[in-house]
Structure 1
Amino acid sequence: MSVAVNSLNPSNSSEWSLVVPLKPLAVAKSRLATAAGPVRPGLALAFAQDTVAAVLACSAVQDVTVVTDDPLAGAALTALGARVVADSPAAGLNAALAYGAGQVRRLRPEAAVAALNADLPALRAAELQMVLDEAARRPGRAFLADAAGIGTTLLAATPGTPLDPAFGGASRARHRASGAREITLPGVDSVRQDVDTGEDLRAALVLGVGPRTRELLRAGPVAATG
């Protein structure tokens, strides 16, 4: 498939380039099937749109690269200002993230790169900036655990450091074992609250979700329970 591609500015390597992976909408957020029913694909897109919009509003971020093979999502996220690349490896989440980071550094070899989940509908730009500033405080890799304390929502690599992602399942332990530094800042709940289940969605609603997620939830019933 072909997707639209926006060019990255090869200058200003002091700011972050974020890589956001997104499965095809038909299979995304499968654990929300019971809670969301037929609106699940639309909800996955709304999560991604609200996530990318918040990322682009963060002053520490220079650009966003979304790795996806979904043409609808690609068009919607390109319209927000993201660069969209096809998932050429087609070998799972971590291969997609490594590929996206490679695409960024092909254009900006000294870029600071971070991988971020696409399912953070309550994301706040100011909180993301706090996390990225902390990641930049020391050279190397740093990560932020999810709200459950098991997975990872963000993995950052300063210039010259490979991203080396190990997302999925108990990725907090894997990232820590790989030598990445854990970010333990208070007050960044919106960067930690990814949404995989109805219970997660309820927690995100308490934080306050973005406009696209809010509008979709208003339009139809979604059971925000585990």
Structure 2
Amino acid sequence: MTAGLHLLVPIKPLHLAKSRLLGALEHTPRRSQAHAALVTAVALDTVSAARGAAQVREVVAVTSDPELTAALRALGIGVLPDSPSAGLNAALRHADGVLRQGSAGMRVGALQADLPALRPDDLSAALEAAGDRRAFCPDRQGTGTTLLLAERDRPLDPRFGPDSAATHGDSGAVRLKGPWESLRCDVDTGADLRRATELGLGTHTRAHLAEHCSSGAAGR
């Protein structure tokens, strides 16, 4: 049975992911470890919220990082390797092909892994607005993409990168226009993290920041 959305969540290796978030952490000898733990916490909150959306049948992470893989599997999240290690779009194309192989009627989407304030109801509302169309949700700046949806039985055709919102629009994807702040609030910088904190962080990120966040970095 393939009804429902199969959602891919790509995550870079911990030592490469979200380097600009280092500024949100206290300067200690264990800062790099705290950064890796923050990236992990954000990813865990993202996938936990995503699988709570009514239309989502399955959430599958795309990563080859062993620590992330272990943490995700402990939550019951399936993991596909980041293959062929040629960037985000190549990894998503590969994972999309793996999911859809031999499965008629499947619909696949991609969700960015840096949405620690994501609420299942916001994601569900965006999916409802998309209907059966190829569609995308822009980030809060309007230039990036937090969610990309393929049509059923069609390739995902990801085009993430600079100005991906415009690029996905040019590919025929419908731009979803809604107030879903938690879906649009991706986190790249300390300022983004402060905004996500105002919206309400997931339990993993909130607990991590309570222990490691520098004064004022997340709006405390």
Return the TM-score normalized by structure 1.
0.89
User: Matched residues in 2 for 1:221 and 1:145: separation?
Assistant: 28
User: 1:112 offset after TM fit, Å?
Assistant: 1.1
What amino acid maps onto 1:163 in structure 2? L
Question: 1:93-114, CA deviations, whole angstroms, 9 ceiling, x for partnerless residues?
Answer: 1111111211211253321111
Determine if contact 2:83/2:90 at 8 Å carries over to the other structure: no
Distance change >3 Å, CA 107–CA 129, structure 1 → 2:
farther
Q: CA deviation at 1:57?
A: 1.4
Whole-angstrom distance in 2 between the partners of 1:23 and 1:97: 12
- CA deviation map 1:133-160 (0-9, x unaligned): 222x243x10000011110000001212
Aligned partner of residue 126 in structure 1, secondary structure: helix
Corresponding residue number in structure 2 for 1:208: 200
Larger deviation, residues 204-213 vs 26-35: 26-35
Match of 1:31 among 20, 28, 48: 20
Deviation at 1:36, TM superposition (A): 2.7
Unaligned 5+ segments in structure 1 are: 1-10
1:18 to 7, 24, 40: 7
Q: How many Å separate the matches in 2 of 1:65 and 1:221?
A: 29
Deviation at 1:31, TM superposition (A): 1.4
Tell me, in whole angstroms, the C-alpha distance in 1 between the residues paired with 2:18 and 2:68. Answer: 14
Partner in structure 1 of residue 186 of structure 2: 194
3-state SS of 1:155 partner? strand
Q: Which amino acid aligns with 1:204?
A: A
Tell me which amino acid in the other structure corresponds to 1:224: A
Partners of 2:160 and 2:16 in 1: how far apart?
Answer: 18
Query: Helix, strand or coil: the match of 2:25?
Result: helix
What does 1:149-188 correspond to in 2, within 5 Å?
149-186=142-179, 188=180
Q: In 2, are the aligned partners of 1:65 and 1:104 still within 8 Å (CA)?
A: no
Q: CA deviation at 1:85?
A: 1.1
Aligned-residue CA RMSD (Å)? 1.4
The number of residue pairs the alignment matches comes to: 211
Measure, in 2, the Cα distance between the counterparts of 1:107 and 1:83: 18
Decide whether the 8 Å contact of 1:22 with 1:68 is kept in 2. yes
Greater shift, 116-125 or 70-79, is seen at 70-79
24-33 vs 197-206, which moves further: 24-33
For residue 40 of structure 2, what is the aligned residue in structure 1? 45
Check the 8 A contact 1:27/1:41 in 2, yes or no: no
Between the aligned partners of 2:49 and 2:141, the Cα distance in structure 1 is 22
Q: Which amino acid aligns with 2:25?
A: A
Which residue identity lines up with residue 167 of structure 2 in the other structure? R
Identity %: 47
| Stretch deviating more after TM superposition (58-67 or 206-215) | 58-67
